[in-house]
Structure 1
Amino acid sequence: MEFNENNWGSGVKFVEERRPKRFLRAVGIILLVFFSASLGGILGGYYVKKNYESNSSGITLPNLTQQTTSALPKNSINKVAELVGPAIVGVNNNVDTLFWGKQKQGSGSGIIFDKNGYIVTNYHVIEGSTDVTVTLSGGKKLPARIIGADYETDIAVLKVNATNLPVAKFGDSSSVRVGDIAIAIGNPLGEEFAGSVTMGVISAINREITVEDRKYKVIQTDASINQGNSGGALCNENGEVIGINTLKITSAEGMGFAIPINEAKKIIEELMKHGYVSRPYIGVAGTFIDEEQAKEYGVPVGVGVQEVVRGSGADLAGIRPGDIIVEFDGKKLTKFEDLQEAKEKRKVGDIVKAKVWRDGRYFDVRIKLTEQIR
């Protein structure tokens, strides 16, 4: 058997392995690819560095450092907030308790109308308080004294010991129109949201609403008014106070109400002067008899007298329970409010003629209006 390095008995020929040459060729290709990739990375990195910045998350973003935002011009809402906002205060209603000392039982807002510390708010904000605290727009708290309060109109005047305070300007609520811009400023839900500004329109004027035994003529607005806004300002675009925020219908959105400032001015003047509002008083309590009831019972339409206050003008004029007042000061009474409206046009001390029905006959009386203080 012939023997050589490539053959051994079986006749199988081993192919010579050329590994060294193939290995060197592969290494060369890898080095070429690595060099090309490195060169591309260097050039790409230079481009990115020049045109983009990288944020902390590794995402490349355009370079925005040189871009600026133009300042927006002030609108009427900005101006009103800056003008009236400093004159709006927080009002805390505090009471003395037997076991816990002084406790806050409610809060609202108020409007500074005199630089010497006079503030107007709602009666219901301070009702039942033994102590009142006012928080100025800067956060300073001051004790307040109640100068006067009027249940009928829901107006109260407070006084703090301070001078040179910012003051809100009262406007003319008779010039308010439906659709005018309305801006409400106050402390909804308490001091945490002090100075909140909401905007809407005047939804209605001279709206009549009744709360408990009180009847109001108010301005209606859809500017947001919430608990704590009571006593705050409803302003026009000129930054003038046109109303004192007072009520909201909780079952509906966008139905808030404000006492017209022209009505409030008269009450504020009375409270500043006397500490109360002097009103003419007839001295009767009763119910209105409408046409249907009058026909059923065979009596005239009018105010049926149920009670006469001893010593009042009605008592001195001879009016008794069971009488029916059918006319007052020359006005025929077609609803109970007619009597109230006629009375309010008069002043304390006036003598007013009234027509009364009793037991099938009519007679005239003269009633001297006395003073009602509540």
Structure 2
Amino acid sequence: MSSSPVYHLSIRQILLLSLATAFIAIGGTFAAIKLYELWTIADPSGRSFAEATPVTISDPSLVSDEQNSIEVYKAISPGVAFISTTTLVQDWWSVQERSGNGSGSVIDDQGHILTNFHVIERAQRITVSFGGDRVYPATLVGGDPDTDLAGVGGLFAEQPVERWLE
């Protein structure tokens, strides 16, 4: 008994199949990009992070210590991030979820956050909060264990500072 292949494809059929696959891939990529653009929230004012956080700190000799502390807090607080991490740890019998947290500082108008490497080390999930009820997913941008520095970024970076504080 002789066996023959189930399908015989000609060169023309292979080329047409390749072309159709390429068009589907290009269309899918284009649709994903458009959906992402619709999903992200653009800042209608076009202001950068530095312009969105006015620094109005009075001369410390003219105001009380309490008023000075309040003004410093209001000027700096939008740039302080609370970072939460989740790490999966496996032992002989089970996998356990461990959580940790730390803080970081917004370092540029793209919303990148500088934190300590030990805060995000081995984290499978990173989230960022700016003091409100909203929690944003974040990703590790880079890290250096020798200097204990790391950077994170995420969807929050594409939103105006005012949205972080809602």
Q: TM-score, normalised by structure 2?
A: 0.49
Report which of the two has the higher share of strand.
1
Q: TM-score, normalised by structure 1?
A: 0.23
